[in-house]
Amino acid sequence: MQLERINDVLRQFVIDKHGTDAWNKARAKIGQVIQEKTKQKATNDVTNPKTHFGDSLDFAREIINAVSQVLGKNIYDFQEDFGRAAFMICLQMPQGKILQSLGSSLCEFLNNLDNFVDIFIQANELRDAKPPSFKCIVKDDGQCLELHYYSVRHGWESCVVGAVKCAAKVLFNLNVIMTLVEDTDVEDHSNGKMDHSVFEIMKKRESFAVKKHAHSTNPNDLKISVPTLCSAFPFHIIFDEKMEIQQLGVALLRLIGHSLVLHGTSMATYFELVRPEVKFTFESILCRINGSFLLLLKSETQSEHVKDKLVMELKGQMIHLPESNCVLFLASPLVKKLEQLKGRGLFLSDIPIHDATRDLILVSEQAQAQDGLKKRMEQLQTELEVASNELEEEKKKTEDLLSSIFPQDVATKLIDKQPVPARFIENVTMLFSDIVGFTSICGKCTAMDVVEMLEHLYTKFDKLCGELDLYKVETIGDAYVVAGGVESLYGTDDDAYKVAKMALGMMDFLENALSPEGLPLKMRIGIHTGSVLSGVVGTKMPRYCLFGHHVTLANKMESESEAGRINISPTTYELIRDDKGLKFIRRSKSSLPDGFKMDSISGTCYFLERLTTYPSDESPPWQKLESPRVLRKRSPPLTGNQSERICNSDSIKSPTLSSKAVPKPEVTANSGSFFHDDKNGNFIKKPTKEQFSSECFKETSV
């Protein structure tokens, strides 16, 4: 019992029997004892780990004796009462049920205490524990018991008396009288001197044992023959009081039988006592006969065919044979796996069927296979988790990529695998740009130079587009297309301001940009605001496209622009004309592209420029976007059945328009250049794209 547990038992015992005041006095005395022990530490050898309090149980005994003096109690009576209290505490512990099941009588209970303590020590890995040992013998035809108590600690005899009396009363309803009849010291293998106390246990009326067994030394009286016994217990050993081997089981005989003639029959020649830690003598074994024993078979004494095998441990029980004054060691090999058995020169047939070791080996083999399967499953689970994490990372990258390619609401539906129906969006502001002289640049420069030039430009444009929260529709060759207001059903004039700022920013950047030939780069930019039809086209490689007449008009606004100029339509001009930081240069109505219906949209187009200075009392409208404004003027509304405006992504239908509405929307091509109608109503490619040679366009398109 650990020192802390003993202190708890002592506190509870004193409080229950003598009250709280008595315990407070006892605590003061305990403090004095601890202080004295601490002072002694300074004069002791500090290299000895036990110089502080020494053995914890010896120190606990000093505390118990000190408390008895404070309470004015006889030391022996107080220790006996403490032993009773300690046993009752043990019964309340989880191991209490095992204590109640150790034996059917007081003698059997005492004789099985050693094995119980050994198992408890091994289970809790108490390597430094030095437990006492008990051996009980029936005397005088069962009228009394003789209890032999062995311990390396002195002064605990009275506590043992109290614990045994309590066990007899609680477990077996016996009132016993214990008398100390002998108290001597015996030699111990590793602990020096060991206290050996002999108690006589008496009780009235009934005897402890009622049946006397007659002993015979005649072999003819054996109920089982020697060969049968050696075969039934192949690992047993019988040795006499001189520690000479008298009989071996068939398995041990096969292992060391040849050595008996060469090296004699002494037990010490072939075996080494591992546990308990006592001398390997007949008397020491009898002192600990109620505990389990572990013997080590020395490898150098085994037969030649197992000479290189591992050493073998035998665990079992020592049984005293009084008729021949010998000891029978019934043992089994301490192996848990089939490899350990074969490594010691043994086979499964060497272990009797009744021996639990055989079942243990078979079960361990099955458990080993299950452990291998479990480890494999754990490995697969780990690999699955890694793959799942990688999949999540790839999924996140895919979601980020979709969010960068499509508007956020469209990307969310695609991620959730929801259908994305086509829809009309009104007042979308679109920007088309084109590099002046791009065909000439492609003809004079290498494809790599052209690609590097476009990559440099588009990187800056993409950054500006992201800062303004605009949507980049696509880039085809030198064409860069941006739209504002596509993430809702209605665009606002704030979206027009953002697109205007985008155009001005692109022009500002081009002021310092040079072509691969070292010549200044210039762009044509066109901006227009109107209603569009948006939708996702394709399944394997889906693309977000804008369709309609106003997309064509925005493209034509760029075609009708001039080098280094930003051409804006009348609808866009109406949205941003109040900005004092912008300069608008009016153009003639003849500059309006074909297809611009004057009866539905009034005004003309303008060149957009930024003023050199901006009024100090105001800031640009695109910096005041916290509260979007409602459009003052919308583009002409589309008429027709509302249901016809919603189109599936697989087959997009053009809406039905009234006679006063804008002409039938003209669809822009989605695989290369944009298309528009000429004066005769025919669809033709944009002129700047027709001039591309197939080889040059293939090398420079992105």
Taking the CA atoms of 263, 264, 270 and 275 in sequence, report the sign of the dihedral they define.
Answer: negative
Give the whole-angstrom CA distance, residue 131 versus residue 409: 77
Which pLDDT belongs to residue 694? 33
Which pLDDT belongs to residue 399? 84
Give the whole-angstrom CA distance, residue 51 versus residue 12: 29
Which pLDDT belongs to residue 586? 92
What are the b/e assignments for 106-143, b being 16+ CB within 10 Å? bbebbbbbbebbbeebeeeeeeeebbbbbbbebeeeee
- Express each pLDDT in 86-140 by its tens digit: 888 888 888 888 888 888 888 888 888 888 887 777 766 666 677 888 888 888 7
Q: For strand 606-610 and strand 565-568, is the pairing parallel, antiparallel, or unpaired?
A: antiparallel
Which pLDDT belongs to residue 495? 92
Which pLDDT belongs to residue 450? 92
Q: Which residue, among 165, 163, 182, has the nearest Cα to 173 in the 3D structure?
A: 165
In this structure, are residues 528 and 569 in contact, taking their beta carbons and an 8 Å threshold? yes
Between 3.40.630.40, 3.30.450.260, 3.40.50.1100, 3.40.50.10090, what CATH number should domain 226-352 receive? Answer: 3.30.450.260
Residue 338, token pair as written in the block: 């089939």
Place of tokens 């997309």: 551
User: For residue 220, with 0-12 CB atoms within 10 Å meaning exposed, 13-18 middle and 19 or more buried, which class applies?
Assistant: exposed
In this structure, are residues 112 and 103 in contact, taking their beta carbons and an 8 Å threshold? yes
Which pLDDT belongs to residue 648? 32
In this structure, are residues 280 and 272 in contact, taking their beta carbons and an 8 Å threshold? yes
Q: In degrees rounded to 5, what are phi and psi of residue 4?
A: -65, -40
Q: With 0.95 as the threshold, say if the pTM is over it.
A: no
Which pLDDT belongs to residue 278? 83
Residue 227, token pair as written in the block: 């060969």
Spatial neighbors of 80 by CB under 8 A, at least 6 apart, are: 158, 159, 161, 162, 165
Give the whole-angstrom CA distance, residue 297 versus residue 329: 13
- Express each pLDDT in 27-63 by its tens digit: 787 777 777 766 655 444 433 434 334 456 667 777 8
Q: In degrees rounded to 5, what are phi and psi of residue 61?
A: -65, -40
Q: Which residues of the chain have pLDDT under 50?
A: 1, 42-54, 210, 307-308, 613-618, 620-702
- Express each pLDDT in 146-205 by its tens digit: 999 888 888 888 889 999 999 998 888 888 899 989 888 877 655 567 788 999 998 755
Which pLDDT belongs to residue 2? 59
Which pLDDT belongs to residue 651? 34
Which helix (H) or strand (E) element contains residue 579? none
Report which residue type is found at 630.
V
Q: What SS3 state is found at 526?
A: strand
Report which residue type is found at 629.
R
Which pLDDT belongs to residue 433? 94
Give the whole-angstrom CA distance, residue 82 versus residue 509: 96
Which pLDDT belongs to residue 3? 62
Which pLDDT belongs to residue 686? 38
Give the whole-angstrom CA distance, residue 584 versus residue 576: 10
| CATH class entry, domain 412-610 | alpha beta
Which pLDDT belongs to residue 284? 85
Q: Which residue, among 420, 424, 551, has the nearest Cα to 483 in the 3D structure?
A: 551
